[in-house]
Structure 1
């Protein structure tokens, strides 16, 4: 093999090592993604170096046969040590990525018309085509699939991943048997391509299951929040009706008490008049207090419910909300966002050490743009992903953050999370049309 052909094959091998590592990184959940990115780069360099040595010393065929094993060992070892996913999910992610590599190689073969038979330049053309296809698949996954996939990864049971992991592994084994063992074969490339057509169909079914589950979980979450809002509204309606009834009785009886007091004062019996007033105040008891945070009844009811929970948890609550009846967004959807934000704030405060300051602030303005923020104290460490979204610390959490993000995308709102000292900020700006 001449030098140009060797360099072209090393470039192809580098692309086919970099792509699955990058895809596995995007599919996996790490508590510290920046550190994980550097570690996965080290995994790539290790695998690429070993495969380059195999290519030079043992030849291209042996390198192709051992390529997946060389990639598998450092990648899985690191994932088991650092990622938050189940071991069976690591297998699903890895073999899905490797199958994608083989699919890219087949697509490149058909797109270039089997150009590898054409010499050194054809090797470089194939490497370029593989790089383009790899970048396209990574972009599509990151742009459209990563968030729902990782959300489901946090909510799917361990047993489900064991079943799903079998699918890409079986296809990988078939491809190895048909195309690489006992030696590299190209005469049955159509059969392997047909296998990948079936695999794509299977993954489409899996995607539909993912999507349905994601929508179901999101709908379930929003339904629970709407039920909480309905209960809060009913509670306030009942309190208002009770208040109206009590006020009607007070107004009816007040004439008699005032007449009695006037008589006592005219006759100079001040002490007796004061006793009448004191007796009436004792009968009235503690006045009914309705939480009134803003003018919008739906949002107000939601804030009243969730902030009441914060107060019961011993959290100091401060509210300054200017939310009118008429909003540029759906009131129920905005109430869900605030409910999620306040609930997340309550959870963060409840996880704090006993005796530390626990505080939640809710601030909203409606002009010239609608801006609202929920601020809370916290301790520990809050991790952010590359989209500056806070990452859930425990499996099964993070749904509220995704719901807030969906709202921001729907209304083209500006959403930001940040920390300053011991305070965590969630701020959103909604432009009026």
Structure 2
């Protein structure tokens, strides 16, 4: 009777843990409840089969039946898995390999303790739980890469299965085989564990190297993007300098114009003087406003505020940006240019009655805090990454440039849409 109880317990542990391990590797479509239901069903079948084979004293038949039943169960359970046929077969063979290694190890370790039949069961349970914990905590990401590359590793898994399975099927007495072939089996288990361990370690290293390469490419892409944007910004600043130079020439020539008007008035040419004044009034000039001490940012703000004024948009600017920054001022000027350009474009699309104020501010809070807000259309949304989403081709370049600047300088970038207001906060 004790043998029946110990065999039932040991078989039940194997059955339930195999199902849990299989669906840990393969992922069930229907969650943990269906997995537990399958495990309970497998437990009932196992108890019945254990009792049947015990009545005939055939432990070898019981061992073979359990493996065959698990193979049949594996075929029947495929529709419950999310994986493809080949990945499922790969996961199934891995589960069988682990099962055979645990059976071998628990059998020989159980001999070292009193009541080996119960020690065998407890050690088997411990090894299964340790395996499940290891996969859930550490190995599953690498095992998924292992499964996704099943074409490369399938021969290894099949060879391990054939070598271990040989001792379970080409025998008339499984217990005697496990005892007589103790060291070959233990060496085979060590070789199998070393093979799996080497694969997992290699995949871990390859995954780390791929992550580093991806990060390097991402950084290189960001540097390229910033470089291209900086070149564009340089051209804009050159154009602004040209406009400013022309404005200074106009201011410089104003004195000569005043002398001409004075001369015309002295000569009595009043009509001619009035005509000259009308022509002068048609020439729009903008005073050189100082928005902040930083020349690059000031030039950009001046340029875009003139653009906003020409479109009839209202602006409110308060900037406290020092002349010297711990990073390239041109990069910050580019960020401000993109923010203002996006704001002007966004507000310009609104009906006139909804065009509100474009607010731009920047001040020191230990770090530099740059904020801009403006009314926006209802169709403006944020993507899963928290950045503005646009399906139009060519749009979003400015947003990427701002994100690249934030990543380069470890800045905090936050976009928000609330009550029809689009706002951006950048803490550098």
Normalization by structure 2: what TM-score? 0.60
For 1:145 and 1:64, locate their aligned partners in 2 and report how far apart those are by CA, in whole Å: 29
Match of 1:244 among 226, 234, 237: 237
Residue 273 of structure 1 corresponds to which residue in structure 2? 280
CA deviation after TM superposition for structure 1 residue 344, in Å = 5.2
CA offset digits 1:87-142 (Å, max 9, x no partner): 22222222222222222222223333355xx7xx4322221111122212222222
Contact 1:65 1:181 in 2 (8 A): no
For 1:181 and 1:17, locate their aligned partners in 2 and report how far apart those are by CA, in whole Å: 22
CA deviation after TM superposition for structure 1 residue 323, in Å = 12
Larger RCO: Structure 1 or Structure 2 (Cα < 8 Å, ≥ 6 residues apart)?
A: 1
CA offset digits 1:15-52 (Å, max 9, x no partner): 2122232222222345x6xx332222222223222222
For 1:77 and 1:164, locate their aligned partners in 2 and report how far apart those are by CA, in whole Å: 24
Contact 1:25 1:40 in 2 (8 A): yes
Match of 1:181 among 159, 170, 178: 170
Residues 315 and 74 of structure 1: is their aligned pair in 2 closer, same or farther, counting only changes over 3 Å?
farther
Which ranges in structure 2 are unaligned for 5 or more consecutive residues? 262-273, 287-299, 306-320, 348-359, 368-381, 392-399, 418-428
Contact 1:51 1:63 in 2 (8 A): no
Match of 1:131 among 111, 120, 125: 125
CA deviation after TM superposition for structure 1 residue 343, in Å = 7.9
Contact 1:88 1:165 in 2 (8 A): no
Residues 254 and 349 of structure 1: is their aligned pair in 2 closer, same or farther, counting only changes over 3 Å?
closer
Indicate the SS of the match to 2:111: coil
Residues 133 and 345 of structure 1: is their aligned pair in 2 closer, same or farther, counting only changes over 3 Å?
same
For 1:96 and 1:132, locate their aligned partners in 2 and report how far apart those are by CA, in whole Å: 19
For 1:248 and 1:315, locate their aligned partners in 2 and report how far apart those are by CA, in whole Å: 27
Contact 2:53 2:61 in 1 (8 A): yes
Count of residue pairs the alignment pairs up = 317
For 2:107 and 2:162, locate their aligned partners in 1 and report how far apart those are by CA, in whole Å: 21
Contact 2:387 2:415 in 1 (8 A): no
Contact 2:18 2:95 in 1 (8 A): yes
For 1:174 and 1:103, locate their aligned partners in 2 and report how far apart those are by CA, in whole Å: 11
Indicate the SS of the match to 1:277: coil
Larger Rg: 2
Contact 2:64 2:168 in 1 (8 A): no
Normalization by structure 1: what TM-score? 0.59
Query: What are the residue-to-residue correspondences of 1:417-428 with 2, within 5 Å?
Result: none
Which ranges in structure 1 are unaligned for 5 or more consecutive residues? 328-341, 352-359, 377-433
Please say which of residues 270-279 and 121-130 is displaced more in the overlay. 270-279
For 1:219 and 1:96, locate their aligned partners in 2 and report how far apart those are by CA, in whole Å: 30
For 1:321 and 1:208, locate their aligned partners in 2 and report how far apart those are by CA, in whole Å: 52
Residues 211 and 5 of structure 1: is their aligned pair in 2 closer, same or farther, counting only changes over 3 Å?
same
2:200 aligned with 1:207: yes
Residue 106 of structure 1 corresponds to which residue in structure 2? 104
Match of 1:23 among 7, 21, 24: 21
CA offset digits 1:179-222 (Å, max 9, x no partner): 34342222213222221122122112212331233123323322
Query: What are the residue-to-residue correspondences of 1:399-418 with 2, within 5 Å?
Result: none
Residue 93 of structure 1 corresponds to which residue in structure 2? 91
Residues 212 and 77 of structure 1: is their aligned pair in 2 closer, same or farther, counting only changes over 3 Å?
farther
Q: CA RMSD in A?
A: 4.7
